[in-house]
Amino acid sequence: MARPLKALLADIGGTNARFALMEGAAHGPPLVLPVAGFATVEDAVATALAALAPEGGVDRAVLALAGPVLDEPVRLTNAAWQVSSTALAARFGFRRVRLVNDFLAQAHALPWLGASDLLPIGTGVRMPGAPMLVLGAGTGLGVAGFLPESGTAVPTEGGHIGLAPTDAREDAVVAGLRRLVGRAGAEEALSGRGLANLHAVVAGLRAAAVPARDAPEILAAAETCPVAGETVDLFLGFLAGTAGDLALAWGARGGVFLSGGILPRLAGQLDKTAFRTRFAAKAPMEGWMARIPLALVIHPAPAFLGLAALARLTEP
């Protein structure tokens, strides 16, 4: 009799690396390690295995990485780690190692999300078999599609498309971003550093004497500081508009799903009507957009649903 699948799952971003042990069909809660706390990915994997599987027996690993997975070693976009499947297999004795883009794992999670894992934003009716889209703001801005009929996930670099301002205020903000960072790509506004960029631009436009803030500080100050509050408003507006643009590009009548580390923290402040309106404001396609289901993913670790599905696909 074949022994149950035992795999190390990892969701590795620019800030945190999350690991979980999959045994059979189930996996345990993630162990979160700071990327900056380890010189190499191998060092982090060693710590994770010692904590999650001290008895050994893990014969495969599936790692989702925040960056393009084209050639090895894979270089993370927003961290210094380089990841090699050959090096991991040699050091830890894994029979199989699969490296995937982090949002490819998020896309593979979409069929496994239940109603309790989602916070709908407006109404919409999913078209069976139609493309699905996930995007999420965290250390960077990830984007991937899922094609249900073939079970195929398509990682993209859609987080680096340009921002599309819709009024004079946003025109001024985008111009400020260009002055600050050189190019007003979506990730330069819709990420952790993007929040800090927007905050700096808003402070400059307001001529406001406020301290420089990082993303957690901006979110914490949004209720009391006008600059932080406007920063969050701009972030949500640009995110809604970008999600709508990507939905058009993908034909995402199967639904658009918002993930990542930042937006769930704003769930209590989210004006769902305003967000949905900005998402759908794509004349002359408003009627088409109105039918697309839009939801915030509130599952605490959705990538692991996709990683588990990928681990099963690597059997035997």
Summarised one tens digit per residue, pLDDT across range 285-299 is: 999 999 999 999 999
Token pair in block for residue 232? 């969050």
Calculate mean pLDDT across residues 15-41: 93
Query: Residue 255: left (phi > 0), alpha (psi -120 to 50), or beta?
Result: left
Higher pLDDT, 294 or 67: 294
- Calculate the CA 171 to chain-centre distance: 26
pLDDT tens across 230-269, in order? 999 999 999 999 999 999 999 999 999 999 889 888 888 8
Domains along the chain? Answer: 6-102+302-312 (3.30.420.40), 118-298 (3.40.367.20)
pLDDT at 135: 96
| 30/56 Cα distance (integer angstroms) | 18
Q: How do residues 170-228 score in pLDDT, each as one tens digit?
A: 999 999 999 999 999 999 999 999 999 999 999 999 999 999 999 999 999 999 999 99
Could you read off the pLDDT of 211-221 as tens digits, one per residue?
999 999 999 99
Confidence of residue 14 (pLDDT cuts 50, 70, 90): confident
Q: Tell me the average pLDDT of the chain.
A: 93
Residue 1 has what pLDDT? 40
Would you say residue 312 has pLDDT above 90?
no
DSSP 300-314: S-HHHHHHHHHHHHT
Amino acid at 52: L
81-136, pLDDT tens digit by residue?
Answer: 999 999 999 999 999 999 999 899 999 999 999 999 999 999 999 999 999 999 99
Length, in residues, of the chain = 316
Calculate what percentage of the chain has a pLDDT beyond 90.
83
The pLDDT-based confidence of 67 (bands split at 50, 70, 90) is confident
Quote the pLDDT of residue 315: 54
CB 205 within 8 A of CB 168: no
